[in-house]
Amino acid sequence: MRRHLFTFAARIGRSTGACTAFAAALAILLFSGSARAGGEDPPPAPIAEQSARALPKSADVFSQPLQVGAYTLGWVGAYDATGIGGRARWELWQHKAGLDLFGEALMVSWPGGGSRHDIPIGFNVYAPYAIGSRVRVRAMGGFCAVFSFITPAEQGAPSSNDVLFGVHGGLGLEVAVAGPFVWFLDAQAIWYTGHDRTAEAWSGSISGSLSQAVVFQPSTGLALAFGR
């Protein structure tokens, strides 16, 4: 009888020891898994969220040193014209002064006959003045070269092309509208000089004398600010 009791007790002891060992192993696995989960870095933010963080807010848009933009423009004065343009800006002295580089293409209405297309390229130096966190004005002035092409009405007739040189100056308004975008409105007076030209039905001609012209140029467009 005693032998059976000892055998039963030994079996219970072995079962209890196995259960204890299994419980201890399970606890170790759970603890190590929790430690790894707690030590891991959080998952990266979605790409869209990262891109949104990289774009400047409207209130900070004028702190960006670079801009690229596109605009429409017109001439009123000695000649009438309409066209489009693009510009690149670097505000090298933050909130104090900057440089605009621009290129434009215009269709010009003029009394000399034929069709006239002008392509001005040049630069502006400007000084901004903030009148709020989202609005500022700027004074500007600079130089330009105008590649001017006059084509007679008859196809194949000689054209009369010239390069004009001019200076310009004016004022501009800038408004931070949304995110990194800026709406702008500029008004400038342009004085330029070049050779007298005509374009008859069959021929174009360029004289040796110089003439001057003054036009008023309004322009408006949208720019993207970036760089910081």
Tokens (6 digits) for 154: 């008859």
> Domain 56-226 is in which class?
mainly beta
pLDDT of residue 41: 54
pLDDT of residue 8: 38
Pairing between β-strand 162-178 and β-strand 135-151 as defined by DSSP bridges: antiparallel
pLDDT of residue 125: 98
pLDDT of residue 110: 78
Please give the model's pTM, rounded to 2 decimal places.
0.71
Give 41's DSSP letter. Answer: P
Q: Which residue has the tokens 């066209």?
A: 83
Nearest alpha-carbon partner for 168 in 94, 104, 114: 104
Q: How confident is the model at residue 45 (pLDDT cuts 50, 70, 90)?
A: low
**Domain assignments of the chain as residue spans, ordered by start:** 1-43, 56-226
pLDDT in tens, 114-160: 788 999 999 999 999 999 889 999 999 999 999 999 887 777 767 77
Tokens (6 digits) for 82: 């309409």
Q: How far apart are CA 191 and CA 216, in angstroms?
A: 9
Q: How confident is the model at residue 6 (pLDDT cuts 50, 70, 90)?
A: very low
Q: How many residues does the chain have?
A: 228
Instruction: Determine the 3-state secondary structure of 180 from DSSP.
Output: coil
Q: How far apart are CA 158 and CA 71, in angstroms?
A: 32
pLDDT in tens, 72-104: 999 999 989 999 999 999 999 999 999 999 999
Question: What are the residues whose beta carbons fall under 8 Å from the beta carbon of 144, sequence distance 6 or more?
Answer: 120, 121, 122, 123, 165, 166, 167, 168, 190, 192
Instruction: Determine the 3-state secondary structure of 152 from DSSP.
Output: coil
Sort 172 into a burial class: Cβ within 10 Å, 0-12 / 13-18 / 19+.
Answer: buried
Sequence letter at residue 74: G
